Amino acid sequence: GQQLNQSPQSMFIQEGEDVSMNCTSSSIFNTWLWYKQDPGEGPVLLIALYKAGELTSNGRLTAQFGITRKDSFLNISASIPSDVGIYFCAGQPPPGSGGSNYKLTFGKGTLLTVNP
């Protein structure tokens, strides 16, 4: 099946620093989603990407759908303590390659710690 490699696994940064994380796959995806999960809570959708090359921002967050359709990255600028959490990428493969309208393939997550 489809697999996503998400890196880094964890990051320890100082408040105010910029952060970058990415997901890569050996197969193409039609959709890339980025979620943030706080401890004991459900994942919250941050950004959704639907077109190769698409660059989308949500406040201090910026994400891009790679031109090859096999990768995506998420940047957080000027980090603040409330950015702490686990960030998951998720992708939906094209129909006919094991994909469906309902199944997402998740990365293993990036644990972000921000030191005030």
Partner 1 sequence: DTEVTQTPKHLVMGMTNKKSLKCEQHMGHRAMYWYKQKAKKPPELMFVYSYEKLSINESVPSRFSPECPNSSLLNLHLHALQPEDSALYLCASSAPGQGRYNEQFFGPGTRLTVL
Report, in Å, the least distance between residue 79 CB and partner 1. 21
User: Is residue 57 close enough to count as binding partner 1 by CB under 8 A?
Assistant: no
Q: Can you list the positions of beta strands (E) in the chain?
A: 5-7, 10-14, 19-24, 31-37, 44-49, 55-58, 61-65, 71-76, 85-92, 105-106, 110-115
Pick the stretch among 14-22, 44-52, 65-73, 77-85 that binds partner 1 (CB under 8 A): 44-52
User: Is residue 115 close enough to count as binding partner 1 by CB under 8 A?
Assistant: no
Number of residues counted as binding partner 1 (CB under 8 A): 26
Q: Which is nearer to partner 1, 33 or 114 (CB)?
A: 33
Pick the stretch among 14-22, 41-49, 61-69, 75-83 that binds partner 1 (CB under 8 A): 41-49
Rounded-to-10 torsion of CA 33, 23, 100, 94: 110
- Return phi, psi of residue 59, to 5°: 65, -125
Q: Which of 61, 71, 88, 114 is the binder for partner 1 (CB under 8 A)?
A: 88
* Count of all residues that appear for the chain in the document: 116
